[in-house]
Amino acid sequence: MKPMHDTKRSIFTLAALALLAAAPLCQAMDAAPASGAHAAASYERPALSSSTMKLDADEFRETDVWGRIRSGYAIPDLNNALVTRHAQAYAAHPGNLSRISGRASPYLYHVVSELEKRGMPTELALLPVIESAFNPQAMSSANAAGLWQFVPGTGKDFDLRQNMFKDERRGVVASTDAALSYLQRLYTMFGDWPLALAAYNWGEGNVQRAIKKNQELGKPTDFDSLAELMPAETRNYVPKLQAVKNVVANPSQYGVTLPAIDNQPYFTTVDKTSDIDLAIAAQLAEMSLDEFKALNPQFKKPVIIGGERTKILLPTENAEKFHINLAQWGHALSTWTTHRITGARVTIAQLASKFGTTPDVIRQANNIPPQSRLKAGSTILVPKTSASSHGDIAENIIENAVVAFEADRGKAKRNASRFKAKASTSKNSKRLARNTSSKRKQR
C-alpha cells in the first residue's frame, strides 16, 4: 500500500504540527494514581488554542500509522541495560522487526484507533510484537493464543468464546477489545503502566505478592525495584517493549526500515447470520483462502457458524464485492453439517463411505491424528448429503460439541503383524541366500 501525501499542507500547518508533536504527552501519566485504589488516569491530548482549532482537521491527519503511534507515546521511558540489549538485538537483525511490521500492517490501524478511543498510550499497540510477533495463529507452550496471547481461562473471563468451531482469542477485533479492557483493569489496579504490563505477563496475583513483599521489607515497589523478584521472562518483558518503542521512534538510528502503513482502515466488518463455508466466503469476496484466513483466524473449521456475534473481516473493496456476489449466488452457502458418534467401533472409513467422501477429508476437517479413531460421544464435521439436514448447525451443538480420540489399537496390531510378516520374510530370504551360497561353494 502506498502512503498518502498531502501536497497542500501550508507552512503554518507544519508549524502547528511541530508544536503538537512537542506537547507534553506524558503529563497525564505523571498525574497517574500511586495505588490501585484509584481509577486509571485519562490520556487526553493537550488542548488546542482557538486559532489552531479553526484549522481543517484533515491538516492534522497523520499519513502513516507509525506517526500516530509516536505522537501518542505516554508511558514514562525505561532506561536500563536490558532495554539497551534488546534494542541492540533489533539493530543487529533489522529484518526481523521489518518482517513483523509487515505482518502487522492489516491490524495496526485498528489497534491504534481502539487505544485512542479509550485514551490509552499508543505504544501499547506494539505489545503484540513481544507477545506473538503479530501472528494471530501464534500458540505458546502454555496454550496462550492469538495476537495478544490469551490463555483459555483469561480469554473466558473476557468473553472470548472458545469452542469446536472458533477461538475468539485469535480474532483480531474481539481479542484486541479484550486485551485493552484487561490492560485498563490492570492499570486501575496498580496505577502504573510498567507494573500493569508485568501483571499482563506474570499475573496480577504475582505482582501483588511481590509488591507486598517489598513493602514489608521497606523497599520501593516500582518495576525496577520488583524486577529481581520476577521470572526472567517478566523481567525482560517491559524492557523489550521499551526497546521496540525506541526503534519505532527513530528507525534509522537502528538501521530498521518500517513498511509504510496507510493511516486508514484496512478492513471492515460484515455480519453473517447464516452458516457459510470458508472457501465460499473467500470466493465471494474475491480473495485467496490464505488472505481470508489472515483476517479471520478465529475460525477453526472449513465452515463459519452464523449468529448474531459472527463477523467476517474483509478489506473494504472486497466487502463490496462480497455483497454483490452474495446477492447473485444461487447455491448453498454451507456444504457441512455435524454428526454425533454413538458407537465406539465406528471407523473413519465407514464414516467417509456414509457421507460420500474420503477418510482424508474427514480427518482433515476434524483434525483427527493418524492412527487414531473417534471415541463415542464425539461430534464431528461431515459433508452434507441429500439424507442429512440442510439447515444451519444448531446453537446447542456449537456450544457443546467435543471431539475425543484414542489410539486405533486394531490398526496398530495390523501394522505390527505386517511388520512381523515382513521381518519373517526378510529372515527367510536371508536364510535361503546363505543356503544357496553354501551349496555353490560345495560345488
Active site residue 114: no
pLDDT digits (tens, 9 = 90+) for 384-411: 987 556 689 999 999 999 999 888 876 5
The closest alpha carbon to 125, from 85, 83, 181, 66, belongs to: 66
Kindly indicate the confidence band of residue 426, based on its pLDDT and cuts at 50, 70 and 90. low
Distances (CA, A) of 247 to 94, 123, 335: 10, 12, 48
CB atoms closer than 10 angstroms to residue 197: 26
1's grid cell:
500500500
pTM, to two decimals: 0.79
Would you tell me which CATH number, out of the four given (3.40.1550.10, 1.10.530.10, 1.10.10.10, 3.40.30.10), belongs to the domain 11-254? Answer: 1.10.530.10
Q: Which residue has the cell 501550508?
A: 10
- Which is catalytic among the residues 62, 116, 131, 395? 131
Element (DSSP H or E) covering residue 406: strand 405-407
pLDDT band at 418 (very low <50, low <70, confident <90, very high): low
Amino acid symbol at 268: T
Give domain 267-328's CATH architecture.
Roll (3.10)
Q: Is 182 exposed, middle or buried (0-12, 13-18, 19+ CB in 10 A)?
A: buried
Distance CA 72, CA 80 (A): 22
Reported as a single tens digit per residue, the pLDDT across 55-107 is 344 444 678 999 999 999 999 999 999 999 999 999 999 999 999 999 999 99
* 3-state SS, residue 270: strand
Structural domain boundaries of the chain? 11-254, 267-328, 338-407, 409-443
Residue 92: what are its φ and ψ, rounded to 5°? Answer: -75, -25
Phi/psi of residue 35, nearest 5 degrees: -140, 165
Q: How confident is the model at residue 187 (pLDDT cuts 50, 70, 90)?
A: very high
What are the pLDDT digits (tens) for 229-264? 999 999 999 999 999 999 999 999 999 999 999 999
**What nine digits make up the cell of 241?**
517493549
Query: Which residue in 270, 265, 274 sits closest to 322, CA to CA?
Result: 270
Tally Cβ neighbours within 10 Å of residue 339: 17
| Angle (CA) 75 121 202, round 5° | 70
